[in-house]
Structures are given as C-alpha cells and as structure tokens.
Amino acid sequence: MRQRLGRLRLTTSGLPYLLLLPALLLELLIHLVPMVVGIVMSFKQLTQFFIRDWSSAPWTGLGNYHLAVDFSAPVGQSLLNSFWVTCAFTILAVGLSWLVGTTAAIMMQDAFRGRGLLRAAFLLPYALPVYAAVITWSFMFQRDTGLINHVLHDQLHLTSDRPFWLIGDNSFTALVTVSVWRSWPFAFLTLTAGLQNIPRELYEAAAMDGAGIWQQIRRITLPSLRPVNLVLVLVLFLWTFNDFNTPYVLFGKSAPEASDLISIHIYQSSFVTWNFGAGSAMSVLLLLFLLLVTSVYLFITSRRRGADD
Amino acid sequence: MRINRLAAATAVVATLALTATACGGGSSTSGSGDNSSPKTLTYWASNQGTSLENDKQVLEPELRKFEQQTGIKVKLEVIPWSDLLNRILAATTSGQGPDVLNIGNTWSASLQATGALLPFDDAAFGKIGGKDRFLPATIASAGAAGKDPAAVPLYSMAYGLYYNKKMFQAAGIERPPATWDELIADGQKLTKDGKFGIAVEGGNVSENVHHAFTLGKQHGADFFDASGKPAFDTPEAVAAIKQYVDLIAKDKIAASGNAEYANNQTVTDFATGKVGMMMWQSAGANLKSHGMNPDDYGVATVPVPAGASGTKLTSSMVAGINLAVFKNTKNLNGALDFVKFMTGKDEQIQLNRTYGSLPPVKDAQGDPAFATPELQALSKVLGTSAQPLPQVANESQFETLVGTAVKNLLAAAAAGKPVTDDSVKAELTKAQQQMPAN
C-alpha cells in the first residue's frame, strides 16, 4: 500500500515535466533556434553568393545595422519612411477597429430579433480566408473597373475624376480600409464576451439614479471592459504592426511609398533584393522596437491598475 | 494564429539553412552531383500554359515518353511565376532541390552566383549534343560572360509591336511605325473616342524593366558599367525611361489607368480593340483565347530612334526560359539525359508549338508550326535585334529596383504629377543606392 502510494507520487511529480518536454523541444526548435539564427545572420554579409552555405558568409559586424539606420542614405531613408507609415497605419487601423468593434458590441448587447444572424454576419470577415478576402478588395479598388470608383464617381459623383486606389498616395486609405474591415470583428467578438460579464443590475441601478446612456457607457461599460481592452489593444497593435498579408495581396512585392509597411519592406530587402543580412538586421530592430513598446505598455497599464486598486 | 509572417518566413529559411548545415552541408562544397539514384528525377517546371493543370496535361505525356526511352521516372511539379524564384532560393539554401528546373533566363547570372547550378562546360554540353545546336543569343542569356553557362535555353521569346490592322486602317495609317516619332504620331491618330494608341503594363515590375532595358540600349545606356557596378542613373538611362513614362505623361497616347495594370490587362485591352498597339512577347495564344483572329493583328519590330545603328537598333531583350540542373542531383547522368531530351528536336517542336514560344534550338526552327507571321516576326527579332539583359550577379535586384522605379514614375504620371529629367534621375539614383554592396 505504502509502496503504491510512493510510486504514484513519483509519477505525478515526474509526469508533468515529461509531458511538457515535446512542447518545450518544439518551442526551442520552432521559435528560439530560428530567432538565434536570424540574429547571427544579421551580423553577416549574406547575399546570393553565400546562401548555399550561409555560415560561410563573411562577418560584417554592425554593417547591416549601420545600413539600416543610416537615415541619410536611401536604404535607411526608406526604412524610416516605412516605419512612420507603419506607425500611422497602426494607430489609425487599431483605433478605428476598436471604435467600430466597441460600438457594435454595445449596440448588440440587448436582445432583439435577428441579433444572432447579425452577429454571425459581423464575424464573416474574420472567418474568410485572408487571400480571398483581400484579393476581392483589390478588384473593388481597381481604378477603371472597380466597384469603389463606380459608386464614388459614377453613381454619387463625389469625385471629379476616377482616383487610383492601389497606386500613389490613396493606397494608404485603401490599406487602412481593408485592415479595419479585417480586424474589427475580432474586437467585436472579444468585447461582446467582455460585456456579458458586466452584471445587469449595475445598469438598472444607474438608470434608477438617473444616469443616461452616455453616462452608463462612460461610468460602467468602459471601466468594466478595461481588462479586456488592455489585452485587445495590445494584440491588435502587434497584429496590425506586423501585418504582411494585406499589403502583399493588395500591392504585390513592391508597395507604393505611401503604404510601404515595414513587414513588406523587410520582405523586399531580404527576398527581393537578396540582401538577407540587411533584412535580418531590420527584423531584429523591429523585434526590439515591438519588445520595447510592449513592455512600456504593460508597465504603464499594470502600474495604473495598481493605482486603481 | 496570425503570427508575424515575416518572422515565419525568416524562420523557414533559417531552419532550412540549419538543416542543411546539420546534415553535414558537405554537398555545398563538393563539385557536382552523383549517380546514386539513377531511376528517378524531380523536375520543376515554370507555369507556361493557361494554368498549372494545363501545364501538367502538356508535360506529363512527354515525361512518360522519356520514361519509356530511358526507364527514368520523372516527378513533375509546376510552379507559378510568383513563387519560382523564392522556391529556387529555398532549394539552394537547403540543398534539397529538384534535379532539373526551369529558371527565367534573366536570372541566369544571379542564380549562377549562388553556385547551386551545374555549369554547362564542354563535357556537359557534349552529353546533350553540343553547344552549336542553340541560337547564340539564347546561350548569351544563360550566364555571365566568360563563364560556363549555368543553364541551357528551353523556350525563347522576344518582344514585338502588335498592332490592330482594322484600327490602323480606320485611322488612315498604312504601315506599322518603325521609329518612335512615327509611333507617337500614329498613337495620337488612334487616341480618340475613349480609345488609345498603345497600352503599357505599368504595374508589372518585370515588364517595366524589360522596356527600360530595350529603350536604354537604344539610348546607349547599359545599367551596369564594364566592371559590373550598377549605373542606373546615367543621362542615357534617364532619357530612355523618361521616353517610356512619357507615353502616359507627355504624349498621352496611353491611358493613365495603365499605370495600375499588372494582370495582363494590356492584352485584354488590345484584344478588345481598346488600344491600337502593344509591345508584348508571344501574345498569340493569349489573344486567341480572347477571341481575336490572327488575321486582325500584325506584328512588327519594336520601333527604334530614327537613324539608329549598331546596338542602338536593339528592339527587345532576349526573353525566355532556361533549363538548369541542380548541382547536387543524385542522378547527374539522368538529369543530363533529360536536358538532352527536352532540348531535342521533337520535344522542342512539340512544346514550343503548344506554348506559342520559339525554339532556341536551330534544327527545330524550320518546322511549319513556327511559320506564322507572328512567330516569324519574333524569330527575326530574336535572331537580329534582341540583346540579353545584363548578365551580372545582381541582375535579379536590378530587375526589381529599376522595374519598381519605373512603376513609381508611371504612377506619378498617371496622378498628373510632372515627370522631369530630375524626377526620373532621383528615382533611379534611389534604386541604385538600394543595390546591395558586393
């Protein structure tokens, strides 16, 4: 009896670690190893002459990093431009996605006929395959044959000429539109779940005290959603900042300058101009930036939460 | 989970690289393949037909013929253009590539520099029936000058000026333009009632660079100096590219919407009579699929400047597909047998006829299939006035960067922004400075 107990304890103490081992190994292989390799590559002069055996590429020290951050030369200049474009894009796209998602979630809070159907329809963009959805948008944005110009120009007469949406400066508007269309359903879904945790009594009590709808949203809904929003905004920020699919499908390998997102810019540096070392250096810089932003964000929000408590 | 795609892509390459080194990586230093698995081959074909399925239908019967002759089974994979270069790079990094593969002929020198492709030295050429079987211009586009070619030509193409006979007649134009001045004058006659003189595929980076190269040659620009260093922003290159962009910007004989074209809308516009001319390579099959009768269009040589001579008469780049052998193939003899088979007279006639391209192999050219007015015109271009794109290691980067510069300039022109020598030069300087230092 005692022996059996002992063996049981032994297994229970060893088993979890044993079960974790495959995941740990895979994590090491899939995430850590390539990351380390990527960092090593960023210090090498890795062009087509060495890709067959990349370890033989000559070391270049910080050369790739110098190239990336030398803002007086075209490579650095275009990286900086791409960085600012990405920042503006992220702020706009995340802000709008959040706003639309929140509005929809609040409006859909009370039951009404057809709510389930409408909710399902809202999630459609989230469920569609990315490529199919974005390519459809690119058809709609075509200057001469697209739906957007047909409505704006031919039917509503809002523009004097047919604007281009996929080349030139307007491409930024097109990019933000598609991105918001793609990510607001996620905000909606998350916030709908969050809203269900707010006790209805709070609203009833507030209504009895004479609080209007805006006051209810400001004093009850938003503060209660705070923990959900903290995660939601962070996740949306990371996804949007790194978004590769949307610009790649909309614009192809070389995006217009006005919408040259950093992910596609790095792709172009590494895989189109075959400068893998410089591309790796830019990736490492991007990783450092995102780590920095994320930690500052988490630091601020956790401190403020501490103050709230 | 939507993880960072870039990190994923880098990770894939990195992992491939790692596996390659982990597996010993010895193959990367050894000279060439062996014959340890003589009964199978893997072949990567580029997408030449109307779809990937169509390519399989065309190629499978030929591969079975090869199997009957030699007993070697060929595994076929057809790869779309957009993926081909990245797939070849991944194969190069990992060493786990196909035995025989298609490459765009303009990439020859770039891929040659990776050292992953088998050099066609005299011995290798001997095994496939000799170098003299091929057109010299097509061999010149198979690798850097002074080195053994990294591939052999398989399908050849060249640019011609396609013109709509009925529209020309209606506008009172008697013959296709031979000089640029004539082309612009004709274009202006054709540009009316919503129709335009010529269409350009402005959003397509490769098309742009092909025309930039041809016009560059006509102006005396080479884009690389004698030592192989990039020279994108010379006055000659600026003049050439400005002339091309001016089709939209100044001459206005191309619709500004063309700046966005990247899915062969040019061919559609030409086939449906929206434009009177286009510069295209082997468009016949495509025009037919749009319902255009071969009698309704003619093919002439792309115009040159008045009074041009020598290389300034260049009217096309040497376009086409090359066939390469991966250096660390496990079936070197079989791979060379396969190259010999695919470049043999019968297969050349059969395949080039199906794809509407020209055989780079001399003894296949006499076949009546290539005696159409279209192919004869293109054949003449290939034989007399076509030049290969610069065969330097940085060619693939040149294609992308200069092609993108032209794309940006066309977009600016379409938006009504002025295109000047300075703005063209600025774009080209920027492109040049983005070339990786080697």
Residues of chain A with pLDDT under 50: 1-2, 309
Q: From its phi and psi, is residue B71 left (phi > 0), alpha (psi between -120 and 50) or beta?
A: left
Residue of A nearest to B109 (CA): A48
Q: Do B95 and A52 touch (CB under 8 A)?
A: yes
Confidence of residue B371 (pLDDT cuts 50, 70, 90): very high
Interchain contact, A52 vs B6, CB within 8 Å? no
pLDDT category at B289 given cuts 50, 70, 90 is confident
Q: Which two tokens stand for residue A61?
A: 């020290």
Distance from CA of B365 to the nearest CA of A (A): 36
Phi, psi of A240 (to 5 degrees): -70, -40
Task: Say if B96 is an interface residue toward chain A (CB within 8 Å).
Answer: no
Average pLDDT of span B180-201: 97
- Asked if the model's pLDDT at residue B239 lies above 60, the reply is yes
pLDDT, mean of residues B285-294: 90
Alpha helices in chain A (DSSP H): 2-27, 33-41, 63-69, 74-107, 115-122, 124-127, 130-140, 147-149, 171-195, 200-208, 213-216, 222-241, 245-251, 262-267, 276-308
- pTM recorded for the entire structure: 0.86
Residue B25 has a pLDDT of 34
pLDDT tens per residue across span B327-355: 989 999 999 999 999 999 999 999 999 99
Is a pLDDT exceeding 80 seen at residue B258?
Answer: yes
Of the given ranges (A121-130, A260-269, B30-39, B411-420), which has the lowest mean pLDDT? B30-39
Q: What is the mean pLDDT of residues B276-290?
A: 92
Q: What's the pLDDT tens digit per position in B63-99?
A: 999 999 999 999 999 998 878 988 998 898 888 889 9
Q: What is the pLDDT of residue B438?
A: 55
Instruction: Say whether A273 and B25 touch across the interface (CB within 8 A).
Output: no
Angle subtended at Cα B350 by Cα B344 and Cα B352, rounded to the nearest 5 degrees: 90
Q: Quick check: B272 contacting A, CB < 8 Å? A: no
Segment B298-305 shows an average pLDDT of: 97
Which residue from B118, B166, B169, B174 is spatially nearest to B142, judged by alpha carbons? Answer: B118
B303: closest CA of chain A, how far (Å): 29
At position A148, the amino acid (one-letter code) is I
Interface of B with A in 218-257 (CB under 8 A): 257
Residue B252 has pLDDT above 80, yes or no: yes
pLDDT in tens, B372-404: 999 999 999 998 999 999 989 888 899 989 999
Give the pLDDT score at B10. Answer: 46
Q: What confidence score (pLDDT) does residue B14 get?
A: 43
How many percent of chain B have pLDDT more than 70?
Answer: 92
Q: Which residues of A touch B28 (CB under 8 A)?
A: 52-53
pLDDT at B18 over 60: no
**Which residue in the set B10, B430, B433 is minimally distant from A283, CB to CB?**
B10
CB contact under 8 A, A263 and B9: no
| B interface test, pick of A274, A282, A284 with most B CB neighbours within 10 Å | A274
Residue B401 forms contact with A (CB below 8 Å): yes
Rounded Cα–Cα distance for residues B5 and B89 (Å): 18
**Mean confidence (pLDDT) of chain B:** 90
Q: How far does A25 lie from chain B, in Å, by closest CA? A: 14
Residues of A in contact with B111 (CB under 8 A): 48
**Residues of chain B with C-beta less than 8 angstroms from the C-beta of A78:** 430, 434
- Residue B11: what pLDDT? 45
More confident residue, A126 or B24: A126
Nearest CA to A305 among A246, A237, A238, A229? A229
**Strand partners for B117:** B326
In this predicted structure, what is the pLDDT of residue A8? 52
Sheet holding B100-104, edge to edge: B73-79, B40-46, B100-104, B319-325, B152-157
Whether B90 and chain A come into contact, CB under 8 Å, resolves to no
Q: Has residue B33 got a pLDDT over 90?
A: no
Given this model, what pLDDT does residue A28 score? 87
